[in-house]
Structure 1
Amino acid sequence: MTTPTSTLRRAAVPAAVRIPVRASGRDALLVALFGTLLTLAWSWQPSIWFDEAATVSATMRSWPELGLMLQSIDAVHGLYYAGMHLWLDLVGYSPFALRLPSAVSLGLAAALTVILVRSRAGRRTAVLAGVAFCLLPRVTWMGTEGRSYALTAALAVALTLIFLAAWRRGPAPRRIRLLWWTLYGVVAIVAVVTFIYLAFLVGAHGLTALWTVWAGRRRDRAALSSFLGWAVASVAAAALVVPFALGVVGQSGQVSWIAPISWGSWNGVFVTQWFYLNRPFAVVGWALVVAGAAVLVRAALRRRATDPPVPRMLARNPSLLAIAVPWLIVPTLGVIVASAIATPLYSPRYLTFSAPAVAILIGVALDALRRRWLIVAALVALVGLAAPQFVAQRQPEAKQNSSWSEVAELISGERAAHPDETAAIIYGPVRQHPSATTRVIAYSYPDAFDGLIDVKLKTPAAQSGGLWETRYPLDAVTDRFDGVDAVWLVTSDKQDWRPSVTEKLAALGYTVDEEWGLTGVNVLRYVR
């Protein structure tokens, strides 16, 4: 016989609002494997590019040297660099090893998305949302990127799950509520220190909290208690993060390349941000996002008209609509407003952590098709739309037209053909990045350049306190060519050093032996 008390206890945490980790575990694992393996496919083919070279430069130095660098630049990525330092210390550096953590983080984000959606909707919706996440062109890009973007997406979903778990404990004893909101604050700090833009996600959770309290038919203490828990945890986390934030602001010159907000920024919002360079996918994706939101609005209105009032002792739980929409809008709008009134901060890839919200609404829209054949057809269509961009992302020069792997392969092959000669190298400018030289190619593919004499090197990057090395003028190091049989020049094809270097090396007895033109880079070999 069921007693009123036992019924009440079961109702206190209804199945519809649990975080069903065990129930959805298999689905989450399968989606995670799908996303990880999909992302890993041919991920080693694209050449390393400038941003990934920054990760390599930062992590392939000692811990004191890394700490020195973060005092002057890239503190915003400091925690990520520390994690990658540990990883590469463990497995050694290679382009594949550099990108593997991002693929795993993508799989984790996909799995957590399935679990999150399953806590508010049916199994099919959850799986569809997870699969849609894995197919988003921005997501298939971030999983092959040796940067923190995939990790930020995983942290965003994890923080949202903790927010929901803490919220539903509104009726619980104060000690339990305190533990959960403390956990939320701690993870929020970790997320923001990993990438400061995740602070906007905490703001999105605040809007979700307000939305949920407002959606209640009457003011209930449990919901207000949960809102207060979020407010206290967020303010405490913000106070602890202030020193870090001030340090990041002090280094804001490193993002001086970001353009001010303009009409062109809207292309970033509606196409590049979550759909990368895939306009057809963007059109269909946004149609599905709007349809998914409409489905959730309609369901909310129906529930409001038919459901009995929530008992005062229960916290009304955030709906999928109240979770996804703020997550989608608040970070983007927040960064754009900050860019408009303060300093340019908006770059589409920095909002990658909102991609799970896009996938949630797409999953809801797909599930609303109801008939299995329609859902399968829609998924096949999404795969077809995603395929061209997926293939393009895995071409050798996919990342900013970087041909660095080809340069390294060329130099490696030519050096193997002349094994007995003593060779030096002159690193010239690198296209689009005036603060660095083409030595970034050597950081990215060190084996090809091992043993070459860097005649212009003044202070190695690891000792410079910055990301890159400092250099002498060529005229100041002519004595370093003593005993050198051959000299390599690797320079940008835009800032072309070939005439000036050829003239200066001619005075030392060198003539051009061979010359190669690759995408964005000229390579010359001199002999005497």
Structure 2
Amino acid sequence: MSLDQRAPTVARTVPPPAATRRRFPNPAGTAVVIAPLLLTLALGLWGIRRRNTMWGDESVTAQLARRDLSQIWHTAQHIDLVHALHYAVMHELFGLFGTGLLTLRLPSVLAMSVAASGVGLLGLRLAGPRAGLLAGLVFALLPQVQKYAQEGRSYAMVCALVTWAGYALVTGVARRARWRWAVYGATMLLACLLHEFAVLALVAHGVTLLVSRVPRPVLTAWSAAAAGVVAGLLPLAIRSAGQSEQVSWIVGPVRFRYFLVVAVLGLVCARAPLRTRGPVRLAVLALPLLVLPGLLLLITSPVKPLFVDRYVLYGNIGAALLLGAWMDCFLRLRRSSRYAWLAAAAALAALVQPSLALRTPQSRSNDVTAIGAAVREAGRPGDGLLYLSGQHRILTAANPEDTRGLTDLALARDPVSSNTLAGVELPAQDIAARMLDFDRIVAVRAVGVRWPADPREAAKTSTLRRHFHEYRTIRVNGARITVYVRDHALSPGG
């Protein structure tokens, strides 16, 4: 065949590559994250200074975070080891931004805002965008969340970490990627190192997976992550068990009523036909997280009282998820939303007074700013200063000027040099002898807190009763400051 007889070749054209579609964020998903975060941030910044006051636990954070990292570590060997990581974090933040009230409390505001966005995402994944949005907004409005978003302690950080660990758990069940379980384990371990009782959330997550009947590989992956968390926490738990005297002030459940009310509300919401997405149902995740950690602490109460509401603050994650899903269910089943809007307006109106109260100094169990000012008002230069008990020395440590000019009668070594919170006191007989060298003594007593009997405290109260009489008493939030005057007619050689 000649070349001229060959069939003409048809040129093959290659179509140009299709333009890559830009994936814009889902507006519903964005709102679920941003709206709760912004609301929590706004509520956290509202009245954050609490009229420039501070309460005892925050004062401890401020004092220890000002010490060197080595001093924090040495102090943690004696007391408060469970909070050592938080003190170290705050030490670094104080070094960067100063030691004011804003630096003390802003990390909690930011942490709780991140937690709120995580609650919204959890709700979105488990029950849809509206349920997620409502859950995130409800979380921001809960009184406990508002309270601890403005405290210079670790509880808001723990709450944020538990929230996002829960999100890693849910996504890990659905997608079964090993790195998700690694993220889950690392996040839970960090939460537990900030506060040991976060490990109870790990127990709640285990119950969730068992009830959900997830495949064996998922359960195996979670078990490996949980084992890593327990192994990482175990050294801290063993060492801190020797410091159990620091919770000896707990004589019964502290603020149990809030936990009971929220748990009952959660149980009621869980009975509704809540929307479900994926292998883990919202109620099966939320209900154990809400109820189980607090219940486990209550079970130990006959042996060792440990229930304090802030120790299981992350239970509010479960409460918000259940309330948000219930509200979504209500709107879905009823055509008219008039009743829903009326109920929402009534709930917001009911929250106004508690929200205002939480931003006053009286909202905390004590006010170290007022206590220090009362000591300064009651004392004169040269007076003796006595703490009943010595553990309450932290109540006036926030501002050293309040006690300047007064002689601490029981102090042998100050808190910094002794690597303690409240210093080391003299033997009982030496304290009594020093008290008799003074004609006026300013005594500081905490109200509503009882410490175990101690010979030093017995010597203080006995000497006051036998050789002094009460001259003046000032009562402030959380403490009583009393001026005692020497009764020379009853004193030896008087």
Specify the alignment match of 1:17 in structure 2.
Answer: none
* 1:429 match: secondary structure: strand
Specify the alignment match of 1:25 in structure 2.
Answer: 30
Q: 1:355 to 1:428 in 2, by over 3 A?
A: same
Distance of 1:111 and 1:256 partners within structure 2: 36
Correspondences of 1:33-182 after superposition (within 5 Å): 33-45=38-50, 47-170=53-176, 177-182=177-182
Matched, 1:198 2:198: yes
Distance of 1:286 and 1:183 partners within structure 2: 29
Distance of 1:140 and 1:475 partners within structure 2: 45
Q: Is the 8 A contact 1:404 1:441 kept in 2?
A: yes
* 1:289 match: secondary structure: helix
231-240 or 351-360, which moves further after superposition? 231-240
Give unmatched runs, 5+ long, in structure 1: 1-19, 171-176, 215-222, 275-281, 304-315, 416-421, 507-511
Specify the alignment match of 1:212 in structure 2.
Answer: 212
* 2:305 match: secondary structure: coil
Specify the alignment match of 1:373 in structure 2.
Answer: 338
- Per the TM alignment, residue 352 of structure 1 is displaced from its structure 2 partner at its CA by 0.9
Matched, 1:319 2:262: no
Specify the alignment match of 2:259 in structure 1.
Answer: 273
Specify the alignment match of 2:421 in structure 1.
Answer: 467
Higher RCO, 1 vs 2 (CA within 8 Å, ≥6 residues apart): 1
Specify the alignment match of 1:491 in structure 2.
Answer: 444
Q: Provide, for residues 37-71 of structure 1, a one-character-per-residue CA deviation record: whole Å limited to 9, x for no partner.
A: 21332232264233223223322222111111111
- Per the TM alignment, residue 117 of structure 1 is displaced from its structure 2 partner at its CA by 0.8
Distance of 1:243 and 1:444 partners within structure 2: 32
- Per the TM alignment, residue 459 of structure 1 is displaced from its structure 2 partner at its CA by 1.1
Q: Is the 8 A contact 2:162 2:188 kept in 1?
A: no
- Per the TM alignment, residue 288 of structure 1 is displaced from its structure 2 partner at its CA by 4.7
Distance of 1:471 and 1:425 partners within structure 2: 18
Correspondences of 1:274-423 after superposition (within 5 Å): 282=261, 288-296=265-273, 299=275, 317-340=279-302, 343-370=304-331, 371-400=336-365, 402-409=366-373, 423=381
- Per the TM alignment, residue 461 of structure 1 is displaced from its structure 2 partner at its CA by 0.6
Matched, 1:443 2:371: no
Q: Provide, for residues 316-371 of structure 1, a one-character-per-residue CA deviation record: whole Å limited to 9, x for no partner.
A: 6312122112212321233233445x533222321111111001111112222314
Of 228, 240, 252 in structure 2, the residue corresponding to residue 236 of structure 1 is 228
Q: Is the 8 A contact 1:114 1:129 kept in 2?
A: yes
Distance of 1:452 and 1:349 partners within structure 2: 35
Q: 1:203 to 1:414 in 2, by over 3 A?
A: closer
Q: 1:251 to 1:502 in 2, by over 3 A?
A: closer
Structure possessing the higher radius of gyration over alpha carbons: 2
Q: Provide, for residues 161-201 of structure 1, a one-character-per-residue CA deviation record: whole Å limited to 9, x for no partner.
A: 1112222222xxxxxx3222222222221111111111111
Distance of 2:446 and 2:134 partners within structure 1: 46
Q: Provide, for residues 185-226 of structure 1, a one-character-per-residue CA deviation record: whole Å limited to 9, x for no partner.
A: 222211111111111111211122122226xxxxxxxx3222
Q: 1:338 to 1:523 in 2, by over 3 A?
A: closer
- Per the TM alignment, residue 229 of structure 1 is displaced from its structure 2 partner at its CA by 0.7
Letter in 2 for 1:381: A
Distance of 2:385 and 2:242 partners within structure 1: 30
Q: Provide, for residues 264-316 of structure 1, a one-character-per-residue CA deviation record: whole Å limited to 9, x for no partner.
A: x5x955x2337xxxxxxx4xx5665334312246x56xx9xxxxxxxxxxxx6
Root-mean-square deviation (CA), in Å? 3.7
Q: 1:92 to 1:442 in 2, by over 3 A?
A: farther
- Per the TM alignment, residue 90 of structure 1 is displaced from its structure 2 partner at its CA by 2.3
Q: Is the 8 A contact 1:163 1:184 kept in 2?
A: yes
Distance of 1:21 and 1:427 partners within structure 2: 63
Q: 1:410 to 1:343 in 2, by over 3 A?
A: closer
Q: 1:447 to 1:435 in 2, by over 3 A?
A: closer
Q: 1:410 to 1:333 in 2, by over 3 A?
A: closer
- Per the TM alignment, residue 251 of structure 1 is displaced from its structure 2 partner at its CA by 1.8
- Per the TM alignment, residue 129 of structure 1 is displaced from its structure 2 partner at its CA by 1.0
Q: Provide, for residues 121-174 of structure 1, a one-character-per-residue CA deviation record: whole Å limited to 9, x for no partner.
A: 23222121112112222212212222222122111101101112222222xxxx
Distance of 1:141 and 1:348 partners within structure 2: 11
Distance of 1:515 and 1:332 partners within structure 2: 39
- Per the TM alignment, residue 456 of structure 1 is displaced from its structure 2 partner at its CA by 5.2
Distance of 1:117 and 1:143 partners within structure 2: 21
Q: Is the 8 A contact 1:273 1:349 kept in 2?
A: no
Q: Is the 8 A contact 1:133 1:139 kept in 2?
A: yes
Distance of 2:410 and 2:424 partners within structure 1: 9
Distance of 2:309 and 2:476 partners within structure 1: 28
Letter in 1 for 2:116: A
Q: 1:373 to 1:517 in 2, by over 3 A?
A: same
Identity between Structure 1 and Structure 2 (%): 24
Q: Matched residue pairs, number?
A: 443
Specify the alignment match of 1:253 in structure 2.
Answer: 245
Distance of 1:90 and 1:410 partners within structure 2: 32
Specify the alignment match of 2:218 in structure 1.
Answer: 226
490-499 or 203-212, which moves further after superposition? 490-499
Calculate the TM-score normalised by the size of structure 2: 0.78
Give unmatched runs, 5+ long, in structure 2: 1-24, 448-456, 486-494
* 1:132 match: secondary structure: helix
Specify the alignment match of 1:509 in structure 2.
Answer: none
Q: 1:286 to 1:236 in 2, by over 3 A?
A: closer
Letter in 2 for 1:123: P
Q: Is the 8 A contact 1:169 1:226 kept in 2?
A: no
Distance of 1:27 and 1:367 partners within structure 2: 14
* 2:49 match: secondary structure: coil
- Per the TM alignment, residue 445 of structure 1 is displaced from its structure 2 partner at its CA by 3.0
* 2:313 match: secondary structure: helix
- Per the TM alignment, residue 235 of structure 1 is displaced from its structure 2 partner at its CA by 1.5
* 2:391 match: secondary structure: coil
Calculate the TM-score normalised by the size of structure 1: 0.73
Q: Is the 8 A contact 1:132 1:363 kept in 2?
A: yes
Specify the alignment match of 2:452 in structure 1.
Answer: none
Specify the alignment match of 1:6 in structure 2.
Answer: none
Q: Is the 8 A contact 1:403 1:521 kept in 2?
A: no
Letter in 1 for 2:49: W
* 1:522 match: secondary structure: strand
Q: Is the 8 A contact 2:473 2:480 kept in 1?
A: no
Matched, 1:429 2:403: no
